[in-house]
A and B are shown apart, each in its own frame.
Chain A
Amino acid sequence: MKDSSLKTEIASLKLENPHILASGILDENGYTMKKILEEGAAAVVTKSIGMDERNGYQAPVIADAPAGLINAIGLANPGIESFGDEIAIAKGSNRPVIGSIFASTVEEFANLAIRMQKYRVDAIELNLSCPHVKGFGSEVGSDPDLVEQIVNELKLKVPVPIFAKLTPNVTNILDIAKAAHKADALVLINTVRAIRIDIHARMPVLSNIYGGLSGPAIKPIGLRAVYDVYRETGFNIIGVGGIETHEDAVEYIMAGARAVQIGTALMTKGRKIFGELNSNLLQFMEREGYSSIDDMVGIGVVK
């Protein structure tokens, strides 16, 4: 079986395999992104970039959790003005770079998207889902009207594919998914709002108190979101949440995802995870008789 069996497409974005580096993990420095692309990731999503430089929160910015990790980095980023060099370095790999952006208004999202496009990103991911920064992320992404305005405006303003990354921290993710229907794909899900308390310090571990839970602990939640949205809408979906093995990736694909993102597993498996996922997925497809990723998309969904 050939490596080309792993190819997948999301709108006009062509990927060598379905495994993408998720936003927020190892994607602030261009050299790191380039290395991860060279080690087998089909694409990387950059750290979420805003209009201005932000330091984010003081450490501790991570806390461990059963089968996962809670983080509250706080949207640390150098600001869009300073991020072009990193994208240029990452693009030295000749693989797609997806620019993630966060903002609180339609205008700022449009500004950022235009700048990202000038940096020659291959797609733009809208962070409508960071669970731990006031005025951004999930606070924007919980409002279906605002989500619809942002997505619609960006579809008018920039020609590259627009992906909307949604939050599971809402009553019904389907409402938000439908509001973002003009997006080229939905990215499901971002982290789940969570805290940890240290019983000896008698206070929350994270300096921000609240963070986002990621890792295997949230995989069933991510799967449920992908399943529901795919069954109801048939939209293009990129699945994310707790993927560590090719079996996890297949589960997401069978729930309706056309590609998946990997984040927290970099902590447990290291950068080599992308190469392992690619070869293990190929062997799985060979054993089970699938000739393409497309053959598997949504086949686990009960109509």
Chain B
Amino acid sequence: MITAFIKRKERKTPTVETIYFEWDSGILPGQFVMIWVPGVGEIPMSISHIGREKAFTVKNYGPTSAAIQALSPGDRIFFRGPYGRPFQTVSGRILLIGGGSGMASLHPLINNSSFGLVAARSKEEILFADEFTDENLIITTDDGSEGIKGNVIEGLKKIDLKKFDMIYACGPEVMLYNAYLYFRKIGVNAQLSLERTMKCGIGICDSCSIGGFQLCRDGPVFFMNELEEMQEFGNFKLTYSGKRVKI
């Protein structure tokens, strides 16, 4: 188990915080760690800031993430990793599509010319939109409180996808599946970072598997051609017990 100390915290939305910590390690965009709160639990966490200063950006959605947000600067954090296959970076113009806290794993890819399609439930939950210039940003919200009302596809329709050298997307699986179908229709390549129930993080427990691939080890980033052969993508997943359920 690796230990580090929290340096500072930034509240990003009513439910999301960025937590900065000191860790002298090479980590690549899209990789994650398994973060442990002793006595509470352990969850996967993508690293949102990978420069000299590291940070993760955590949404409060359960007991362990709530316990992480309750920590203060100076407190110790416990984690193992980094794990997972990172995003493959390309030179040229990139489009980043993030749904909700999915923006966190895309954050390391943001550069001066990147275009952002930031999707959220409502205005309050929009994450990292302020890191894109106005002309390089489209926002969609489910409730229409900011930007285009509707899901990420409504935003995609406003963008000429063919002018990008690579498209990166992260968010809920339903959103990613719809985006995947849209990319396929338009005929563009993309890298999608998926999320599923994860226990071991090292490719042996089978909890996060999708179509025979272990998301924690073969992914979480997958290319379009890999997603094509995964019968379960956007379709079925296993619960914490291993029970097959429709997505």
Contacts and interface: CB of A to CB of B under 8 A. Distances in A.
Contact of B206 (A27, A82, A201): A27
B212 interface: yes
Contact of B243 (A78, A207, A264): A78
B232 interface: yes
Interface stretch (B31-39, B53-61, B129-137, B170-178): B31-39
Interface in B104-139: none
A100 to B, nearest CB: 13
A69 to B, nearest CB: 8
A164 to B, nearest CB: 23
A201 B39 CA distance: 9
Contacts of B244: 29, 78, 82, 85-86
B200 interface: yes
A264 B204 contact: yes
Interface residues of B, number: 37
Contact of A76 (B43, B214, B242): B242
A92 to B, nearest CB: 11
Contact of A34 (B204, B210, B212): B212
B238 to A, nearest CB: 6
B203 A267 contact: yes
A28 B207 CA distance: 7
A266 B210 CA distance: 17
Contact of B199 (A34, A73, A78, A264): A73
B182 interface: no
Nearest to A62: B200
A56 B240 contact: yes
Interface stretch (A47-55, A216-224, A285-293): A47-55
Interface in A247-285: 263-264, 266-267, 270
A53 B245 CA distance: 13
Interface string B201-226: 11111110111111001000000000
Nearest to A61: B199
B205 A61 contact: yes
A216 B136 CA distance: 53
Interface in A126-168: none
Contacts of A201: 1, 36, 38, 78
A236 B207 CA distance: 32
Interface in A29-64: 29, 31-32, 34-35, 47, 53-56, 58-62, 64
Contact of B217 (A76, A78, A270): A270
A203 B41 contact: no
Interface in A183-208: 198, 200-201, 203, 205, 207
B11 interface: no
Contacts of B209: 26, 28-29, 31-32
Given A78-B242, A86-B244, A205 B1 contact: yes
Given A73-B205, A198-B78, A207 B41 contact: yes
Contacts of B217: 270
Nearest to A265: B204
A34 to B, nearest CB: 6
B204 to A, nearest CB: 5
A60 B1 CA distance: 11
A22 B244 CA distance: 21
Given A82-B244, A266-B204, A28 B36 contact: no
B91 interface: no
A174 interface: no
Most buried by B among A29, A62, A71, A76: A29
Contact of A53 (B202, B206, B243): B243
Nearest to A205: B1
A32 B206 contact: yes
A32 B209 CA distance: 7
B206 A55 contact: no
Interface of B: 1, 3, 34, 36, 38-39, 41-43, 76, 78, 80, 199-207, 209-214, 217, 231-232, 238-244
Interface of A: 25-29, 31-32, 34-35, 47, 53-56, 58-62, 64, 69, 71, 73, 76-79, 82, 85-86, 198, 200-201, 203, 205, 207, 263-264, 266-267, 270
13 contacts: A26-B214, A28-B205, A29-B232, A31-B232, A56-B240, A59-B36, A61-B199, A62-B205, A79-B241, A79-B243, A200-B1, A267-B202, A270-B217
